[in-house]
Amino acid sequence: MSARGCTSGVVYVHSSPSAVCPHVEWAISGTLGGRADLKWTAQPAAPGQLRAECAWTGDAGTGASLVSALRAWPMLRFEVTEEPSTGVDGERFCHVPGLGLWRARTSANGDIVVTEDQLRTLMAANRAAEAMTHRLGELLGAAWDDALEPFRRAGDGAPVTWLHRVG
């Protein structure tokens, strides 16, 4: 592991066409430097689609690298989390077709972190309460959570694969 520190996280592929699944495994394997052998199961929220998840360990920043690899397939619904590590905030990424990618920093307990600068910009640009509420929802990823929630519930109890980044 690098001097940036070791961390961990989870990749949730909430829905993928079956033909894309081997490519997703290859992308995750390439990013982590080891073979990803995901356990794909049916995604009840999207008939004909498959879902899988894997926990990973690696250097800080690995979550962003995984997202970069997965964005090659815009039809995927996925989330990537990265736990905070020494001197590095955690992160959460969500991708939904039609909405694109959302990214936020997370605290040690997993809450979304909205920074002082983001709040000042929000208040300066959005005087009306409705506009401010909408923009705050964007900062918190509300539309992505709403879109992914049926896919998350459909995955309850699914198997998890553990992967470790090779140094």
> Which class does domain 6-111+145-164 fall in?
alpha beta
**Predicted confidence band of residue 4 (pLDDT cuts 50, 70, 90):** low
Instruction: Show me where the domains of the chain are located.
Output: 6-111+145-164
Tell me which residue of 113, 102, 91 sits closest to 144, measured CA to CA. Answer: 102
What is residue 1's predicted lDDT score, i.e. its pLDDT?
Answer: 46
Burial class from Cβ neighbours inside 10 Å (0-12, 13-18, 19+) for residue 145 reads: middle
Ordered alpha helix ranges (H), 14-141: 21-32, 62-70, 116-125, 129-140
Taking only the tens place, the pLDDT of each residue in 115-166 is 899 999 988 888 888 988 988 999 999 999 999 999 998 766 655 555 555 5
**Residue percentage of the chain with pLDDT more than 70:** 89
Tell me which residue of 38, 39, 9, 13 sits closest to 151, measured CA to CA. Answer: 13
